[in-house]
């Protein structure tokens, strides 16, 4: 729920600075392509893809319904490549990127089958290099 790509990048860079050399950072993000699976999601995804064609326009942000009485919260939906690039740009080395499903155990059945389209989100583990 961090507004703006620059702010999201700053948070990752700050997390990198806080970790000791060799430290691990675990992050969960929501998958933008999961919206393909329902009509409302496809409508949002189409509008978002069109927004992405406008130079300088932010895309990937989805306005959420009021949650616990707080209106206007925005959730950024990532592609796997986007979040991997942001982590690498902040200095992290990605150890694992696991697709997450909606089941009670969080596992995505048949991960090998179009997981980038079927995953609800991703659980990423990244490491700070063992720098001196």
Instruction: Calculate the alpha carbon distances from 126 to 24, 27, 34, 49, 84 in Å.
Output: 6, 8, 23, 28, 9
Three-class SS of 25-63: EEEEEEEHHHHHHCHHHHHHHHHHHHHCCCCCCCCCEEE
Tell me if 81 sits within 8 A of 122, measured CB to CB. Answer: no
- pLDDT, one tens digit for every residue, the chain (132 residues): 788 899 999 999 999 999 999 999 999 999 999 999 999 999 999 999 998 898 888 889 988 888 788 888 889 999 999 999 999 999 999 999 999 999 999 999 998 899 999 999 999 999 997 764
For residue 116, the domain's CATH number is: 3.40.50.150
Q: What confidence score (pLDDT) does residue 52 get?
A: 85
Domain interval for residue 35: 5-128
- CA atoms of 54 and 70, how far apart (whole Å): 30
Tokens 């155990």, located at residue: 105
- Count the domains in the chain: 1
pTM: 0.88
Q: Among positive and negative, which fits the CA dihedral 36, 39, 43, 44?
A: negative
């Amino acid at each position: 729920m961090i507004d703006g790509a620059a702010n999201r990048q700053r948070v990752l860079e700050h997390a990198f600075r806080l970790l000791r050399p060799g430290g691990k950072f675990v992050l969960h993000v929501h998958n933008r392509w999961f919206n393909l699976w329902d009509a409302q999601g496809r409508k949002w995804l189409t509008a978002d893809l069109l927004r992405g064609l406008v130079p300088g326009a932010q895309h990937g942000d989805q306005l959420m319904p009021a949650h616990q009485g707080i209106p206007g919260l925005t959730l950024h939906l990532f592609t796997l490549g986007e979040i991997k690039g942001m982590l690498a740009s902040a200095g992290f080395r990605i150890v694992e990127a696991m697709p997450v499903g909606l089941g009670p155990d969080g596992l995505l059945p048949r991960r090998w089958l179009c997981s980038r389209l079927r995953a609800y989100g991703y659980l990423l583990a990244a490491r700070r290099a063992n720098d001196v």
